[in-house]
Structure 1
Amino acid sequence: MKILNKENILSIPVISEKETRFLGFVDVLDIASSVYHEWLKVSSELNGDLFPDEKYFETPISELLNYSRIDYPYFVSTTDTIEKVIQLFRSPRVAHRLHRVAVLDENKKMVDVLSQSDIIRFAAANITKFKSKKSKIAEELKIIRAPIMLKVDCSIADALLCVCNNMISGIALVDEQFQLIGNFSASDLRGIDPSCFTFFSGSVLQFLSKQSTPKPTKFMKEQSTLEEIVKEIASDNIHRIFVTSDAGFPKGVISLIDIITIL
C-alpha cells in the first residue's frame, strides 16, 4: 500500500522472490475488497463495527492476487504485435476481466506493463487508420452497455460490494431523481492507506467529497462517433464515459474494453 500511495498508481505487478517469474497484479480494488471482507468478518464475530487490526495489513500480497477477480495474470512478449495484444484483451475468455498485462523480454523477465489505457491512447493517436469505423456512432457500433448504478448517498461498503460482485471497476452514481451526478471507481481509491478503511460505514458522497482532485464524470450522447469518444477518453485519461438522455438519465456506459473489442 505504501508503494501504491507513494507512486500514486492503482496497480503493481508481483514477481517471485528470485525475480524470475511474473505472478500477477495487486491493485487497490484487491486490497479494498480484501479489507472489506475482513471488516465484515470481524464485525460479525464480535458484534461490532470494528476495523481489522494492524496484523491484518501484514498479510502477504500473494494472498491478494486478483482478489477482486478483475485483473487476470496474463503477459505478452516484447516482440508481440499490437494486433496480437488487442486480440488478447478482447478474447471472450478474459474480456471485461483483463485490465493490464505484463510485458516480458526474451529471458521471460518483466520489463513493462501494458494497460487498456495504453491501447486507447494508441488508437487515439492513430485514429485515421480506422477509416471504416472512426465516423460511426456509438449506437451503431454496439459498444454501449447497460450501466450499473447506485444512489450517491449509499455506503462505501455497498458501492464496493457492487463493484466486486459485478467484476467491474466502476459504477454510475445517481441522485434521488436518478440523474447521473458522478461515478465511483477504482481510481477513487488511489492513494489509500490503512487509515482510510474507517470509511466503510460512511457514504460514497462523503468519501468523494474528501478527495482533493476528483476526476469529473464524462458523458456523451448516443450519436457521438468513435473518433470523438476515443479522443475524449484518451485526452482526459479516464476509464469510462457515460451515455445520457437529454434529461440527464444514464442510458449506458462505454468502457475502455468496449472500444478495444471493436478495434
Structure 2
Amino acid sequence: MYASDINPRQAPMKQKLINELKTFLNAPVQNLINDRQTRDMTEHLRSRVRPSKLGPALVCIPETATVSEAFALLKQHNLLALPVYRLTKSGHKSFQTIISVIDLLHATLLGPAFDDLGLSQESSNTDLEKQLSTWMDEHVDMFKSTTVKDAMGRTPESKALITVQTTEPLSRLLDIMTSNVHRVLVYDKNHEGDENWYTIVSQTDLVWYLHVNRNKLPASIFEMKASDIMQSAAKPIPHPYLMYDLDTGASKACPISLLENTPTAMAVRLMALFNTSCVGIVDEQGKLAGNLSGADFRGFNEQAIRKILDPVLQYIHEIHNVDPAERSPTCEPENNLEECMQTVLSKGVHRLWVCPPDDKMPIGLITLSDMLVMFKNPAAVAVSVEE
C-alpha cells in the first residue's frame, strides 16, 4: 500500500503528512546519487566513494572469471557483491546480474557438498565434519574450476539483473529494496552501455538518504518503535530454529538463530536454503553471542576452506580477531526508527538484534529492509496524528 492509495477524505493533517512522503519519494534517484557524492556522509559510506560519473566506482567482474578471483576482488574492495558482465563483440560490457558472497559459497561448497553427500540440517555435527572433510579433500580445486557464470542464480537476487534509471522515482527504488533485493544497478539512460555511467545503489545508501533528509519527511515515521517495526515486518517462519521467548523462557520457531557450537558450514547452508543474509548465534542460555553474515566470507578461498568446519563463533573470532559480540549491535524494543537507522549507519552493519533492556536474549531482528518498509506504510505516517 502506498501513500497514493490513501482516501483523500481523511483528516487534513494526516493527508498533509502523506503528501509530504509522496512528494519526497516522487523525486528522481539522481537526487540520492548527487547527495551521496557531495554530503558529509557517515564514515561507513564515505570510505566507499571514489571518483566516477555517478559516485562509487563500479567494481565488476566478467562471467568467465573464477570464483577464487571473485572472492579476492570482494576482499580487495571490501564489498559483498559484484556486478557480472559479458563482453560483447564490440568489446562493451553487457551486465548480466549482481552476484553475492552467498552465491559464490553455495556454488563452490555448500550446494555441491550437501547435495552430493545427502547432508541436511538434521545431520549431526560429527557426521557433517567427517563427510565434509573427505569431500573437501577430493574437490580442493573447485574455487579455481568454478566460474562466476556457474554461480549465478543461486540466490533470488542473482537470478535476474535489476536496473534503475537515474530519472526514475525513489519510490521504485524503495519498491525493489523492500522485495528481497539488497542492491541494484543504476545508470544514466543517455549513456546506456557506458560503464562510467553505472553505479551500485544499496539498501544502506537508501537508508542513509532517508535519514539525512528526515527533516523533509513525516516525523511520525521516525518515531516508530522497534517493537512496532518488528510487528509490521513479520515474515513467515520457514524453519524451526532456536529463538528464545523472553516471557515464557521457551524456545520458539525462528530461522535466524543457531547455537554457538553449530559448524559454520551448516550455518551458511541454512542462510542459502532459507534466503537469509544473516544468522544469529546464541549461547546455551539463549543470549546473543554474535552473528554470521556474508561479510564474514570476503576473500574466502581454498586455504580457508577447513575453517568452515569450525564452530561458528570460533570461525568469526579467527576471521576478525575480535569478540563476535562486538559485531552484533542491538537495540531495545522502545528505541525508535531514527535511533535504529543512526546505529546501523554509524556501526556499518545491516541489521540490529532486538533485546530487552539490560539483557542479551534476542527477541527479534530488524533489518535494513524492515526499516525501509516503514516508508511504504501510510499507517506509520498517521500514528502521531491519531495520537
Q: 1:241 to 1:147 in 2, by over 3 A?
A: farther
In structure 2, the partner of 1:6 is 76
Q: Could you say which residue in structure 2 is the equivalent of 1:171? A: 279
Q: Which moved more, 1:228-237 or 1:101-110?
A: 101-110
Q: Which residue number in structure 1 is paired with residue 260 of structure 2? A: 152
Match of 2:171 in 1: 83
Distance 1:122 1:30 in 2: 28
Q: Which residue in 2 is equivalent to 1:230?
A: 341
| Structure 2: 5+ residue stretches without partners | 1-70, 119-130, 235-253, 376-387
Match of 2:214 among 122, 127, 151: 127
Q: Among 301, 311, 333, which residue is 1:193 paired with?
A: 301
Q: Which is richer in helix?
A: 2
Q: TM-score if structure 1 supplies the norm length?
A: 0.88
Residue 186 of structure 2 is aligned to residue 103 of structure 1:
yes
1:50 aligns with 2:122: no
The alignment status of 1:218 with 2:326, answered yes or no, reads no
User: Whole-Å Cα distance in 2 between the matches of residues 140 and 245 of structure 1?
Assistant: 14
Of the two, which has the highest radius of gyration?
2
Q: Label 1:181 to 1:143 Cα distance change in 2 as closer, same or farther (>3 A).
A: farther
AA matched with 2:338: E
Q: Which of residues 351, 354, 361 is equivalent to 1:249?
A: 361
Q: Which residue of 2 aligns with 1:68?
A: 155
Instruction: Give CA-to-partner distance per residue, 1:37-93, whole Å, 9 cap, x none.
Output: 23345667xx66231232552222112113133445211012223232112222xxx
Q: Deviations for 1:80-124, whole angstroms, at most 9, x for unmatched residues?
A: 23232112222xxxx2x2111111222433510111111111122
Contact 1:243 1:250 in 2 (8 A): yes
Contact 1:153–1:203 at 8 Å: present in 2 too?
A: yes
Q: 1:149 Cα deviation (Å)? A: 0.5
**Partner AA of 1:227 in structure 2:** E
How well do the aligned residues superpose, as a CA RMSD in angstroms?
A: 2.3
Does the C-alpha gap of structure 1 residues 133 and 56 become closer, same or farther in structure 2, counting only changes over 3 Å? closer
Q: Deviations over 1:243-263 (max 9, x none)?
A: 013432110000001111112
Question: Aligned ranges for residues 8-47 of structure 1 at < 5 Å?
Answer: 8-18=78-88, 19-34=92-107, 35-40=109-114
| Conserved 8 A contact 2:257-2:280 | yes
- Contact 2:308 2:315 (C-alpha < 8 Å) held by counterparts: no
